[in-house]
Amino acid sequence: MKAQILDGKKVAEEVRAAIKKEVDEIKSKGGHIPGLAVVLVGENPASKVYVGQKEKKCKEVGFNSFLHKLPVSTTEGELLKLIETLNNDKAVDGILVQLPLPQQIDSDKVLKTIDPSKDVDGFHPMNMGYLVTGLPAVHPCTPKGIMYLLDAYGIEIEGKHAVVVGRSNIVGKPIAHLLLDRNATVTICHSRTKDLGAITRQADIIVAAVGRPRMITGSMVKEGAVVVDVGINRLEEGLVGDVDFKTVGDVASWITPVPGGVGPLTIAMLLKNTLEAGRKSER
């Protein structure tokens, strides 16, 4: 193992500490305390864990946290009505609706109903459109976290060839545009790309976000590449990423672990987006 670790857990702790310091200063001056509303519909076990983590981190940095737990039988109309209420609530700066939603609810319709200025997940079509066109926008948390992590370790992006493996609206597409905005040359691949290894071997930076355990192996990575593993796959042996950590670690210069890499920064960037939304609401 020669690759150095991109420690997302450590960087996320630093981000939260900086946010807490700013919130403490806001409180001391009697200013507006950022508020995050999280909506959980149903009893999905993974969703309940994620929501619990987000609520805990909110309280750690001093945010106001508003948790709305709704039964699995909640109708689309009832959920949309709640979102409209949160849109108009001045104490709420960020709204996060935990996905997936029950089948009777149209997720796209729900995400479109959130006020774009309170869309701290960065999934609203308006924010996605602004991101693609290079205008100021709320960036999705995981891609924003990846960029923050690369910057924290001084990884050069400009002029580098970045290969993104995955084309989801949550990670693949937005991270490709963020890298492009920083003057990387970007190639987007996916699960149906032919001879994927021939393309990834050209990459200076690889972002793996396709959702297949250990899909990227050492033979697919060129010497000295930076490898960011976004995958979280639950196997009997535990959590593993989309990257074969052992073989890729033998050839890469930098690599993110799973867990402890990108994951902690996703929640840290959610807090950062909420803080930034709170700043705007004070203007």
Q: Quick one: tokens of 86?
A: 């949160």
Beta strands in the chain (DSSP E): 4-5, 35-41, 64-70, 94-97, 161-165, 185-189, 205-208, 226-229, 233-235, 238-240, 254-255
* DSSP state at residue 33: P
Instruction: Give the pLDDT band of residue 45 (cuts 50, 70, 90).
Output: confident
Domains annotated for the chain, with CATH where assigned, are 30-115 (3.40.50.10860), 141-263 (3.40.50.720)
Q: Which residues, 6 or more positions from 237, have their beta carbon under 8 angstroms from its beta carbon?
A: none
Q: How far apart are CA 243 and CA 197, in angstroms?
A: 13
pLDDT in tens, 83-139: 999 999 999 999 999 999 999 999 999 999 999 999 999 999 999 999 999 999 999
Residues 58-80, mean pLDDT to the nearest whole number? 96
Residue 46 is predicted with a pLDDT of: 83
Instruction: Give yes or no: 121 in active site.
Output: yes
Instruction: Give yes or no: 98 in active site.
Output: yes
* DSSP state at residue 243: B
Instruction: Give yes or no: 54 in active site.
Output: yes
Instruction: Give the pLDDT band of residue 1 (cuts 50, 70, 90).
Output: confident
Which of 57, 93, 119, 121 is the catalytic position? 121
pLDDT in tens, 188-242: 999 899 999 999 999 999 999 999 999 999 999 999 999 999 999 988 888 899 9
Which of 57, 93, 98, 272 is the catalytic position? 98
